[in-house]
Amino acid sequence: MLENVYLFDGLTDEERDTIERHAVVKHYRKNTVIIERGDDANALYIMQSGRTKAYVANDKGKEIVLSEQEPGAVLGELALLGEIPRTASVMTLEDSDFLVLSKVSFGDCMKQHPNIAFNLIRSLARQVQTLTESVTDFALLDVYGRIAKILTDSASEEDGRQITPKLTHQQIADRVGASREMVSKILKDLRVGGYLEVDDKRYVIQRRLPANW
């Protein structure tokens, strides 16, 4: 499993096997919060299967989704490295399996295998870039612009068509910081205008989305 995880690039099979032996396999049902913002960091999570979202929410339940993760993702490494409380919550979007490394085991792994520390630095640099882009989008784009960016950035080619993963109106609303009603209206207008088709909750981009709504 770890050969597909960026954090352990450069390690031999034997070294990865040693790390796996220190990890515990855990299964979580859909909609389970596995990391709570503000909690002490005591473990590293490596996704084997499923899908999760990282998010922040206020006391009134208003939520902003920071990112979504798929198998191979590493969760919770920032707080472990910085000795700080968890900076975001993580919830499963479907039944998911993880390898869980304790804080002590992860620290021992980094001491024994310096490649892990270098890979972690590269990962954190990518996260800073992603967060900078997200802040820029919120500052400079309107709601339509943020929706259009999510659709185009998440789409991949499939049978000659650009198709997004499954996305509900609420999921998009949580990502762009808008109401579900506003998202629904914009998506409806894009469908009526011939820019989008919906295929089992996935959006097929028929042609380049307009610059403005």
142-169 pLDDT, tens digit each = 999 999 999 998 999 988 899 998 899 9
- Domain with 76 in it: 2-139
Residues 169 and 96 grouped into a single domain:
no
Residues 145 and 121 grouped into a single domain:
no
Residues 94 and 166 grouped into a single domain:
no
Which whole-number Å values give the CA distances from 80 to 3, 45, 86, 106, in the listed order? 22, 11, 9, 9
Residue 165 lies in a domain: yes
Residues 120 and 20 grouped into a single domain:
yes
pTM (2 decimals)? 0.72
Mean pLDDT computed over every residue of the chain: 88
Could you tell me the CATH number of the domain that includes residue 152? Answer: 1.10.10.10
In this prediction, residue 22 carries a pLDDT of: 87
In this prediction, residue 110 carries a pLDDT of: 81
| Residue 160 zone, left/alpha/beta (φ > 0; ψ -120 to 50; rest) | left
Both tokens assigned to 90? 């993580």
- Residue 8 and residue 116 in contact, taking contact as beta carbons nearer than 8 Å: yes
